[in-house]
Amino acid sequence: MLGPGKARLLEAIRDTGSISAAGRAMEMSYKRAWMLVEEMNAAFQDPLVDSTRGGPGGGGARVTEAGLRVLALYRSVQATAALAASEDIAALKAMLRGPTGGI
Amino acid sequence: MLGPGKARLLEAIRDTGSISAAGRAMEMSYKRAWMLVEEMNAAFQDPLVDSTRGGPGGGGARVTEAGLRVLALYRSVQATAALAASEDIAALKAMLRGPTGGI
ipTM entry: 0.82
Is it the case that residue B103 has pLDDT exceeding 70?
no
Q: Which residues of A touch B2 (CB under 8 A)?
A: 92, 103
Among B18, B29, B23, B69, which Cα is nearest to B46's? B69
Nearest-CA distance from A25 to chain B in Å? 24
For residue B57, being part of any structural domain is answered with yes
Single-letter amino acid, residue A30: Y
CATH code for the domain in which residue B49 is found:
1.10.10.10
Kindly report whether the global pTM for this prediction surpasses the value 0.95.
no
| CA of residue A48 relative to chain centroid, distance | 11
Structural domain including A74 reads 4-94
How far A82 CA lies from chain B's nearest CA (Å)?
Answer: 7
- Is B88 in contact with A80 (Cβ distance < 8 A)? yes
Name the pLDDT band for A52 (thresholds 50, 70, 90).
confident
Give the 3-state secondary structure of residue B96.
strand
Does A53 score more than 70 pLDDT? no
- pLDDT for B43: 96
Cα A24 to chain centroid distance, Å, stands at 14
Q: Is B42 on the interface with A (CB under 8 A)?
A: yes
Residue A73 forms part of a structural domain: yes
Model confidence band, residue B84 (pLDDT cutoffs 50, 70, 90): very high
* Cβ within 8 Å, pair A91-B103: no
Confirm whether B101 is domain-assigned. Answer: no
Residues with Cβ within 8 Å of A76's Cβ and at least 6 positions away in sequence, in order, are B85, B88
> Is A100 within a domain?
no
Residue of A nearest to B3 (CA): A103
**pLDDT at site B100:** 57
Q: Does any CB of chain A come closer than 8 Å to the CB of residue B90?
A: no
Contacts of B17 (CB under 8 A, 6+ apart): B60, B61, B62
Average pLDDT over residues A66-81: 97
